[in-house]
Amino acid sequence: MTEFLLLLLAHVLVDFYWQPTSWVIDKKKKSLRSKYLYFHVLLVIAISYILLGKWDNPMPVIVLGIAHGIIDIVKIKFDKKGTLTWFIADQAAHLITIIIATLIITNKLNIGFETFKTWLYTPKTLAILSGALLSLSPISFLVGILTKPWREELTKLAPDIDDNLANAGRWIGMSERLLIFVFVLVSQFSAIGFLIAAKSLLRYNDKTAGGEIPPAYISKKSEYVLVGTLMSYTCAIAVALAVKMLY
């Protein structure tokens, strides 16, 4: 575990704190022709080697640094817009290489894979993973279908008003449900009250560029948000309780 944490610390420092923006821009422009790509790889190797302190065995961190560079090249090639999906995939790939390097350094590669396989193929793990995934997009679609009539009613009341950020409601809902799912699994039901209190801070502007928002719209929008929130919370709690029953 110590080796993993040291390599993870090196990755965080080099990738997020010691990589100037100018390096990132140059890498995006020139890819393999960027000298900063190689500086970055060398820095990953050097910091990992220094923190790890395995002076007689530099090969694992050299391989880790090369893998880090390959992952960065793939991300640069395919991620032209800096999307969240590619950021998560990039960091997940780095994390996997760090885990593999740790297992190689500690001579536990075979044991590590067997342990992971044993952990994954247990009812508890599968139930939690399935429940967490159900709490995200599937419930978003369900709540969206159930609240569709009220969205259409709001659109008729104020067809020209656009008072929502793109996909913000969906991401807020998924974040809330994931937190509730975790809270229920660890039997911290009172923590759900924190989310309800946070939700109460939500406010709507009563002005637009074209004039006043209809009072009926404001009232019904508040009710719409409240109904959607309660549906979302209820589904997340139900899924979490079902998961607890399965293990």
pLDDT at position 235, please? 92
Percent of the chain whose pLDDT exceeds 90: 32
pLDDT at position 209, please? 41
Q: Where are the domains of the chain?
A: 2-110, 123-246
Query: What is the per-residue pLDDT across 122-180, written as a single tens digit (0 to 9) for each?
Result: 888 899 999 999 998 899 889 888 888 887 777 777 766 665 666 777 888 888 899 99
The bridge status of strand 207-208 relative to strand 211-212 is antiparallel
pLDDT at position 162, please? 65
Name, of 108-117, 155-164, 179-188, the range with top average pLDDT.
Answer: 179-188
Q: Is the pLDDT of residue 46 over 70?
A: yes
pLDDT at position 163, please? 59
pTM here is: 0.66
Averaged pLDDT score across all residues of the chain? 83
Between CA 104 and CA 115 the distance in angstroms is 15
- Kindly tell me the sign of the dihedral angle through the C-alpha atoms of 44, 46, 47, 49: positive
Do 182 and 176 contact (CB within 8 A), yes or no?
A: no
Burial string for 23-53 (b: 16+ CB within 10 Å, else e) reads: bbebbeeeeeebebbeebbebbbebbbebbe
CB atoms under 10 Å from CB of 181, counted, come to 22
pLDDT at position 55, please? 81
C-alpha of 184 from chain center: 20
Query: What is the per-residue pLDDT across 69-92, written as a single tens digit (0 to 9) for each?
Result: 999 999 888 887 778 788 888 999
**Cβ neighbours of residue 119 closer than 8 Å, sequence gap 6 or more:** 125
Do 147 and 231 contact (CB within 8 A), yes or no?
A: yes
